[in-house]
Amino acid sequence: MKWLFKSEPESFSIQMLKKNKITHWDGVRNYQARNFMRDQMQVSELGFFYHSNCAEPGIVGVLEIVKTAYPDHTAFDPEDPHYDPKSKSDAPRWFMVDVKFKQQFSETISLTQLRNNPKLKEMLILRNGNRLSITPLTEQEWQAVLAMGV
């Protein structure tokens, strides 16, 4: 399966992932996105890295899942912005996966470009009201994005 991971570049960018090489994808606080990570993501699956809420939102690179879901420790830390007092270490609510940098694109594949590609009309990120930080991609969507000059 293929995935799309959204992050605001001010919080975590493709450049930060490139520098870190491998990191955990923490702070997901949506149950559907959590379920994708917890129940479906597998080691060696690939994902697009999407910068959101910035001057030019769009797909900026590729990452690889290197560790399947495990409890998100940031939910247990009262000092962390992702703290959730209802999540307990013996009964975690939130999970994260580890990802590895694979590739940074030379140019952003913009949201406008994605919207203008008829092969991507069903892509979840393009649906009105979709705020999920993690969404699955079909193989057709994956290939369509790769064909957009990457």
Q: What are the tens digits of pLDDT across the range 27-41?
A: 999 999 999 999 999
Q: Quote the domain boundaries for residue 123.
A: 2-140
| pLDDT given at position 129 | 79
Tell whether 119 is covered by a domain: yes
Q: Is the dihedral of CA 60, 63, 69, 73 positive or negative?
A: negative
Which pTM does this prediction carry?
Answer: 0.93
Tell whether 9 is covered by a domain: yes
Tell whether 150 is covered by a domain: no
- pLDDT tens, residue by residue, 74-88: 999 999 999 999 999
Among 5, 36, 37, 27, which residue's Cα sits nearest to residue 72? 27
Average pLDDT over residues 43-67: 96
Tell whether 61 is covered by a domain: yes
**35: helix, strand or coil:** helix
| pLDDT given at position 130 | 80
| pLDDT given at position 144 | 97
- pLDDT tens, residue by residue, 87-115: 999 999 999 999 999 999 999 999 999 99
The conformational region for residue 83 under phi > 0 = left, psi -120 to 50 = alpha, else beta, is: beta
CA separation, residue 50 to residues 15, 44, 54, 91, 100 (Å): 12, 19, 11, 31, 15
Tell whether 32 is covered by a domain: yes
The CATH code of the domain that includes 119 is 3.10.590.10
Tell whether 145 is covered by a domain: no
